[in-house]
Structure 1
């Protein structure tokens, strides 16, 4: 049975269209619609319920050694208050999940994982535990909201002490608060915009939602659902687990080499990733030049030869066009080259382009 986040009744109150996603009942959109929600985040601000995400605490004197072994990134120099993105691989070099690690204190790490993978990730992490480490699934204790868009800073400053709002990207303050409610304020997001992911006790999530909605009225803040979250991350070319990577797709193929530190002594999947170099397949952007919308699992052709497949694809509102991300044969991957995408037997003209499709002005 699908779970409800602490904000389920709030979504119903605000007219959210509820659908099952990752084992939870969540709004795909509100009455404003996906396009308007998407544009609000690009031009003003949007508020998302992301309480379905999981939280796992890793603590103990061997925490850094453990994280460096079970994850592909390097956490040796991570400072208290910083966050770092990392894939987590299996022995074959495939992706168990991608996640964010926060250093909450010395030997105390707060790990945020994808909703559909909470139990799988926790079991994987426990199965590979070493002495001197404790691993605790605290997902039920936390609610999480994402306040995203160019006006997020101004809105949050109305309800939180500005001195406690993190200034740097991928930094967080674990001693923040919103109108007296204890909150973790994290300058992170999954939309390609500036903004925050805010963690609070689960039973306070609805209160924080209402505070932010009220504070953001003048800035054009609106509630946003899963639909806009997907189109926004697509424009920013952020991979989605289960689509652009999975247990069989290496994060290296998915374009996440920046978060794979091959100079570490060892980590799970390192040998398999080394053995698969040079890559036979790589991720690339696909921009439709003809007519039609490309979708996941559609085959990609170049000069009549199948060279790969779409992993994520849809119409992107801000760019006003159809785009997709694809995994293609490395030897056939050429930026600017014409390709065709087979959508239910109809070939749609497109071209290979650089990622990301959209990058905000700094």
Structure 2
């Protein structure tokens, strides 16, 4: 992922204020921006303008930004299409995960399928062999597909001989119901428990030990200060924590900050490219983008910390959090990329109880 210097952060924020007040033509600032970041700067200005109600002006910045995008980063083009579908307004078109189908399509695109396959493989390499029946917790279980894939692989690889209980935690009733059906079909002899809510709502009531707790693209739905609190509440009840996450700087930067926009441009731009590159019906792709990814993007770029829905952190920040809250009782067992390039990374972290 690319980052801005402190001077660039200051300059971009100053330029945004001037552009909003004086309606400056996009080309006037290109020479002041690091060449490879010009499209990202146009994206930042466009989102800043759209969030402040200047939709038509935002579209002009996206149109010029689109002309200089390359290398699979087309976030200006994707956002331009979104604004044109929504009357030039940067507003959330849906409630994320209310309908499971957009997420299920997202999880099934080739890049995500391969990243999840790598995650499962990495977990089997770092988790120990369990000599007793395993109790498993999935925090943000989604449709249950990854839970099923991981546990089946752990059984096949010899890490696990028997799964005795699976706790599925998800705030979406539709997701939780689908996950229960999927997991129960794969493990008919296991006790399946459903916690329909966020981990923030139930971390204080968990009072049973779980051998493995997993969170896949879910624990980022709260800011750092809340992650710390709820992780501390989970610590006595888990022996291994495995995390599958997006490496992005979307937690601590404030609303309208250049660093937040640059991070979103790279991370969401690359992921949306995965979705658009996958051969699927246009209406399915558009629904996945608008009802899932763009809904999250709009939240990140229009709502302040404490209100927005997503708080992806940098990999280094996750390691610092786990070391602070779980250590010294837990130690790092795995820190591996499952999908990575210059702008975006999906990774696996595993912290296990020492001893």
On whether the aligned pair clears a TM of 0.5, the verdict is: no
- Normalised to the residue count of structure 1, the TM-score between the two structures is 0.24
Higher normalized helix content (fraction of residues) = 2
| Structure with more contact order per residue of length (Cα contacts < 8 Å, sep ≥ 6) | 2
- Normalised to the residue count of structure 2, the TM-score between the two structures is 0.25
